[in-house]
Amino acid sequence: MRKSKGGIMEKIIKILLATGIGVLILGVEATAYGTQTQSVETQSQIGFTGVYEPIGTPDPTPPENIAHPPIREDMESEGLLPQTNEQNNTIFSVLGLSFLVLFGVLVRKRRN
């Protein structure tokens, strides 16, 4: 029995979707580095010296009792933010892709 064009198109769509999901799970890691530098000379200057002294009082006057969120001692945080040029560990992406492949194989075996 020959497959119709609809069956082939469905297969192509499924392959494209699976490939797209795989790319999204793996993620495309791109590390960019600045390799070109340019210098531009201008007539301006900027400098910071001395201490900032506000002129007058702020308008409107800030409230006396400013609400602060409660500090909980039992909350723990890593205290680490992503750093420049930091590369993520891809083990979880590989693990997720492995689960998808395993799921696809199991579904295919169940259909046959």
Tens digits of per-residue pLDDT, 64-101? Answer: 777 777 777 766 666 777 677 777 777 877 888 888 88
What are the residue ranges spanned by the domains of the chain? 8-111
Span 50-70, pLDDT tens digits: 787 878 776 777 677 777 777
Q: Is the peptide bond prior to 60 cis by the omega test (within 30 degrees of 0)?
A: yes
- Residue 1's pLDDT is 46
pTM, two decimals, is 0.28
Identity of residue 14 = K
The answer to whether the beta carbons of residues 34 and 85 sit under 8 Å apart is: no
Helices 5-26, 91-111: axis angle to 10 degrees equals 160
The answer to whether the beta carbons of residues 85 and 31 sit under 8 Å apart is: yes
